[in-house]
Chains A and B, each alone.
Chain A
């Protein structure tokens, strides 16, 4: 098998034996759980589109290790064109699903490790890269979804890992064995964790020698013994339990996050990709983060959906010709396409690393993600402005169906004779979903904090800017000689 279909992907998840908790109970059937299933549908879309002729040019790539056609989500970027196609793939899938499709984080972890394992070997004479390539071939051959897990709970933020009162606040080695290591800790905010076949662990920050027990990277099957998933809540999540075809807004897709706990989990050596080489933890964090900040190209696709919904709401309300509405739609597009500029730019200005992997321009990837922490909020504000207050005061779908109330709702919420009231309600529910419902988790707060909070990007921007050259240019023009 090289590329799974959406159906094969779903079947493969059913074979996993994940330990998942939600609302205080073990989830026995993860795939069919109504809260989780929309997120599985979104990942399944990454498999489905790879088989469609009208999308395969973006969704597939040729493996540099086997020469076979693979899903791009398991590919190591071999050119600038690959990096650009990755950004385009994000926009495509964001638009197709209207949510987070969860699979980019594993691709970003694989690409970062393809660089860092090579560089560790070059310095220490280790064999991480060989191990990594073997693992990569396994992932590509099975077309796995991989969760790239970086964020530790971190405990007291003022203290480094080795000074934490609770050492488990950062993932760490608790035992070394002949055949592997035993690890303990947790990874927070793990997007798509229970839709993944594999999980790759990376350190969460730059480390010093005293923290070397925390400078580890490895991969495990997602159902390895000792791993527990505790699902995060999303605003309006239980609407998915109500049935119906309206109030959840997005009828098909969604995202999810989970806290993933590792309670003394064994990792065989052939799946360990960094072991106490603390001086490489910063590089791994920075390069993974840069790839993942590029991945926020997906928000452009979700923005496309929200802009389309706002324009439709304006038309349904009969206000689409008002100059201020037109201007707001232009502003939304301006912001959304500015985001697109950033994710294309960081890809186009990428470079080749010693391992042969192409990496994005780290400065531009951080600038792009920094814009993502802001613009979706303004796009959402404008969408709510255009939609009107009804998007938050609208009665439920059940009221639309109840004989006692249906007539009133159809009568008083009709805005345009040719437009069924139900259509107006559907589009308002979608805007609600994207700007303050389940999808706002990903379109707004994930845009703020995912792949690093705004301050993390500002630190990287300050590190990467060549201030000396800017000063030299300024001084030259005004006659300052030093």
Chain B
């Protein structure tokens, strides 16, 4: 395994989410134990931003992260894609 990735976690506001965003992040965290550390997006050394959006409107404000590597999840299936990517990488 490579070095642990610091992932800046950014949620949308969750006005009308189509799934439980917090539970999904918990699932991702458990699936990637030892590979990623979820931190606030403003933290130092963030290698990747994970935007967890409750629906396909994707309204979370990502303007502060311009130029950074960003992954966007809008449903449960999106989490599996993210888990696979990180597993390949780390």
A residues neighboring B (CB under 8 Å):
53-59, 81, 84-85, 88-89, 91-92, 95, 304, 340
Interface contact B16-A53, CB-CB below 8 Å:
no
A57 & B60 in contact (Cβ 8 Å cutoff)? yes
Contact with A along B33-73 (1 / 0, CB 8 A): 00000001000000000001000000111000000000000
Interface of B is mostly: loop
Contact B15 A54 (CB under 8 A): no
B11–A57 CB distance below 8 A: yes
How far does the Cβ of B40 sit from chain A's closest Cβ, in whole Å?
7
A55 and B16 contact, CB distance less than 8 A: no
A88–B9 CB distance below 8 A:
no
Question: How near does chain A come to B56, taking the closest CB pair, in angstroms?
Answer: 15
Q: How far is the CB of A70 from chain B (nearest CB, A)?
A: 15
Known: A57-B60, A57-B61. A88 touches B15 (CB 8 A): yes
The minimal Cβ–Cβ distance linking A86 to chain B, given in whole angstroms, is 11
**Interface Cβ pair total, 8 Å cutoff:** 44
Considering only CB atoms, which chain B residue lies closest to A87 in the complex? Answer: B15
- A residues less than 8 Å from B15 (CB atoms): 58, 88-89, 91-92
Is B12 on the interface with A (CB-CB < 8 A)? yes
Category for how many chain B residues contact A: 10 to 19
Closest 8 CB pairs of A and B: A58-B13, A88-B15, A57-B13, A54-B11, A92-B15, A91-B15, A57-B60, A54-B14
**Contact, CB under 8 Å: A53 / B11:** yes
Interface check B21, CB cutoff 8 A: yes
Min distance, Cβ B8 to any Cβ of chain A, angstroms:
11
Task: Tell me if B1 counts as interface (CB < 8 A to partner A).
Answer: no
Flag if A58 contacts B14 (CB, 8 Å).
yes
Q: A89-B13, A92-B13 are in contact. Are A54 and B60 (CB under 8 A)?
A: no
Determine how close the nearest CB of chain B comes to the CB of A194; give it in whole angstroms: 28
Highest count of chain A CB atoms <10 Å: which of B9, B15, B59, B61: B15
**How far apart sit A236 and B71, CA to CA, in the bound complex (Å)?**
50
Distance in angstroms between the alpha carbons of A55 and B13 in the assembled complex: 4
For B60, the chain A residues whose CB sits under 8 A away are 57
What residues of chain A lie closer than 8 Å to B9, measured between beta carbons?
53
Chain B residue with minimal CB distance to A60?
B13
Q: Which residues of A contact B22 (CB under 8 A)?
A: 54
Chain A residues positioned under 8 Å from B52 (CB to CB) = 54
Can you report 5 residue pairs joining A to B where beta carbons are below 8 Å apart?
A53-B40, A57-B10, A57-B13, A89-B13, A91-B16
Tell me the complex Cα distance, A340–B15, Å: 11
Measured in the bound complex, the distance between the Cα atoms of B59 and A89 in whole Å is 13
A179 CB → nearest B CB, Å: 44
Contacts of A88 in B (CB 8 A): 13, 15-16, 59
A56: which B residues are within 8 A, CB to CB? 11, 13
* Residue from B12, B13, B61 whose CB has the most chain A CB atoms within 10 Å: B13
Q: Within the complex, what minimum Cβ distance (angstroms) separates B69 from chain A? A: 20
Give, as a whole number of angstroms, the nearest-CB distance from B20 to chain A.
10
Per the bound structure, the CA–CA distance linking A84 and B12 in Å amounts to 13
A431 CA to B59 CA in the complex, in Å? Answer: 32
